[in-house]
């Protein structure tokens, strides 16, 4: 065992003395040392219930014949950090989390890891570490939140009833009493936000790729089932250690293709593009950005999930969960091993019944194409990403007038003050991985556009990114970004911008000579943040089209 390097032999007498100082009995020294990386924090609704799950993981590890050792990993709540300086830190924490898990596991020679996680950047960071370390690992995602409940069966959800409600109030559509009702009911308790936002999408894809146990991706945070999954995961990691089943034997090219297809089929978050590219990079799997679009054209969307659709995570779980989606996708899913022991095809075959009102059959899709599309053109030579599952048919093709803003706050102020009109294309730039730095989510302005009633007449493009809660004609991940002199930096107010999602085009209707002349007069702006971790991050982070990984 790896842990023998810190607990066996004469030379390890000092090491054993320190281990015994933590309370480890001599009798436990022969057992596998299982690290439990937990991102528990009082700050995030998706993580406040983890103390309970830690107990069940610990019981499972000891039942399986291992010895559990807990260590903490930080987390940032994207919703709380949204719309201010805090959002600069969200995506960069993904790299910190991967580095911290690697550091603790290697320094202490842990035999295996249980990765207890839940929210947007924490789950991909944990998976990046698992792929990088390639020691036995299993992921436990802490589960989604229940939808809020109101009078006459109304269901409340985080994005619709906070960010969009705020803009509806500003537009005079709802009054202060209704706004307060939304605030009080949108988030009723623990768990990751109720719709198919980034946290829940990543939990689903983690199960799809085979890195967590069946039902883990959709079992609710408040459920006894989630406790049982935590216990079973603790047992299973000891088995994985004994059999030397490591992440790279599971995180194959097939696993990533399966994850992309499930994301497309459900209409999940566009942030998964960044995260799957980054995890594949750590796993040594080649995964070009174009793969998402190739698979989108042949994978229909078979579920209508909040925020763009009507169903919540609790509905998806009851309908069959991830295994139900795999069953409906049939031969589009490639057979691949999982930490559970059964292959993806065997898991799909085990499902007896699927609620086809929630998870449609391929013969009756919600939409003919998958939820994500990759666009190219003179604005985005290296690509841009749109969650087309959240775009209405009327806005799949659109031409409008550029309104340019060099920071999210400037755009948000203009939207809320009523300065953005039908026919405009809001351009938010210098918000990419380098320019942000940290590639902030643009949920606040996109939700404001929807709340102000402009979702059918205004588009938004950015070199930043979007929350999984974003809906509407919002194009992000534009590469190269403005801070690198990408064409998005050259757009001027009044330019005409063409969006054509069916033809995968994003173009500014300005001739090449004019753009070239503008580029000769362009100069990189001063960094927005010049000290601390983010200044270092900006110097070494790569483009969005490669997953915004660190050099």
Sheet holding 397-405, edge to edge: 372-375, 384-387, 474-476, 459-462, 424-428, 397-405, 496-500, 505-508
**289 torsion bin: left (phi>0), alpha (psi -120 to 50), beta (else):** alpha
Q: 30-144+191-349 has which CATH code?
A: 3.40.50.2300
Region of residue 439 (left: phi > 0; alpha: psi -120 to 50; beta: else): left
Q: Which of 467, 479, 523, 540 is catalytic?
A: 467
- Annotated catalytic residue 467: yes
| Res 443: pLDDT | 83
The CA-atom distances, in angstroms, between 170 and each of 162, 176, 187, 351 are 12, 10, 21, 47
Cα(86)–Cα(137) distance, integer angstroms: 30
Contact 193, 220 (CB under 8 A): no
What is the predicted pLDDT for the residue at 471?
83
The CATH classification number of 372-546 equals 3.50.30.80
Residues with pLDDT less than 50, the chain? none
CA gap 327, 320 in Å, rounded: 9
Give the model confidence (pLDDT) of 468-527 as tens digits. 778 889 999 999 999 999 999 999 999 999 999 999 999 999 999 999 999 999 999 999
Contact 300/365 with Cβ under 8 angstroms? yes
CA 436 to chain centre: 19
- pLDDT tens, position by position, 167-201: 899 889 999 999 999 999 999 999 999 999 999 99
How much is the pLDDT for 442? 86
Specify burial of residue 497 (Cβ count, 10 A radius: 0-12, 13-18, 19+): buried
CA angle (135, 137, 139) in 5-degree steps: 155
Tally of CB atoms within 10 A around 343: 16
pLDDT at 292: 96
Query: Which pLDDT score, from 0 to 100, does residue 149 have?
Result: 87
Please give the helix or strand (H or E) that residue 402 lies within, else none.
strand 397-405
The answer to pTM > 0.75 is: yes
Where are the chain's structural domains? 30-144+191-349, 372-546
Token code pair at residue 293: 């679009």
Instruction: Tokens for 542, please give them.
Output: 């790569």
């Amino acid at each position: 065992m790896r842990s023998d390097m810190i607990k066996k032999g004469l030379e390890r007498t000092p090491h054993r003395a320190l281990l015994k100082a933590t309370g480890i009995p001599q009798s436990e020294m022969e057992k596998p040392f299982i690290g439990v990386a937990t991102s528990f924090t009082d700050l995030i609704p998706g993580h406040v219930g983890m103390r309970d799950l830690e107990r069940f993981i610990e019981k499972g590890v000891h039942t399986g014949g291992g010895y559990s050792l807990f260590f903490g990993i930080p987390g940032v709540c994207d919703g709380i950090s949204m719309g201010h300086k805090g959002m600069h830190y969200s995506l960069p924490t993904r790299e910190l989390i991967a580095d911290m898990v690697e550091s603790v596991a290697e320094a202490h020679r842990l035999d295996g890891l249980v990765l207890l996680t839940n929210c947007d950047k924490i789950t991909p960071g944990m998976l990046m570490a698992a792929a990088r370390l390639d020691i036995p690992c299993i992921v436990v995602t802490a589960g989604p939140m229940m939808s809020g409940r109101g009078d006459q069966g109304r269901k409340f959800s985080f994005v619709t009833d906070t960010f969009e409600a705020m803009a509806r109030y500003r537009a005079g559509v709802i009054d202060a009493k209704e706004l307060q009702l939304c605030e009080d009911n949108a988030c009723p308790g623990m768990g990751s936000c109720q719709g198919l936002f980034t946290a829940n999408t990543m939990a689903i894809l983690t199960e799809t790729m085979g890195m967590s146990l069946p039902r883990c991706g959709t079992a609710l945070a408040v459920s006894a089932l989630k406790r049982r999954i935590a216990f079973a995961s603790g047992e299973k990691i000891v088995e994985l250690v004994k059999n030397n089943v490591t992440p790279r034997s599971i995180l194959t090219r097939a696993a990533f293709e399966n994850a992309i297809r499930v994301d497309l089929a459900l209409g999940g978050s566009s942030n998964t593009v960044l995260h799957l590219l980054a995890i594949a990079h750590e796993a040594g799997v080649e995964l070009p950005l174009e793969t998402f679009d190739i698979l989108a054209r042949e994978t229909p969307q078979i579920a209508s999930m909040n925020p763009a659709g009507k169903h919540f995570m609790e509905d998806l779980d009851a309908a069959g969960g991830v295994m139900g989606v795999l069953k409906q996708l049939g031969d589009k899913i490639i057979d691949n091993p999982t930490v559970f022991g059964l292959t993806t095809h065997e898991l799909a075959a085990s499902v007896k019944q699927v609620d086809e009102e929630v998870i449609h059959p391929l013969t009756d899709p919600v939409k003919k194409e998958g939820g994500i599309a990759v666009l190219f053109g003179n604005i985005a030579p290296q690509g841009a990403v749109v969650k087309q599952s959240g775009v209405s048919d009327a806005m799949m093709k659109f031409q409008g007038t550029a309104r340019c803003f060099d920071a999210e706050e400037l755009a948000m102020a203009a939207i809320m003050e009523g300065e953005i009109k039908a026919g405009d294309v809001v351009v938010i730039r210098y918000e990419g991985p380098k320019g942000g730095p940290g590639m902030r989510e643009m949920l606040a302005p996109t939700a404001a556009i929807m709340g102000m009633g402009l979702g059918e007449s205004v588009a938004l493009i950015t070199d930043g990114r979007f929350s999984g809660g974003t809906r509407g004609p919002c194009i992000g991940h534009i590469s190269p970004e403005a801070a690198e002199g990408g064409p998005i930096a050259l757009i001027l107010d009044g330019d005409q911008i063409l969006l054509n999602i069916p033809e995968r085009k994003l173009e500014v209707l300005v001739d090449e000579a004019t753009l070239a002349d503008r580029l000769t007069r362009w100069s990189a702006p001063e960094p927005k943040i010049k000290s601390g971790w983010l200044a270092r991050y900006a110097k070494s982070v790569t483009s969005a089209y490669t997953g915004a990984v660190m050099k």
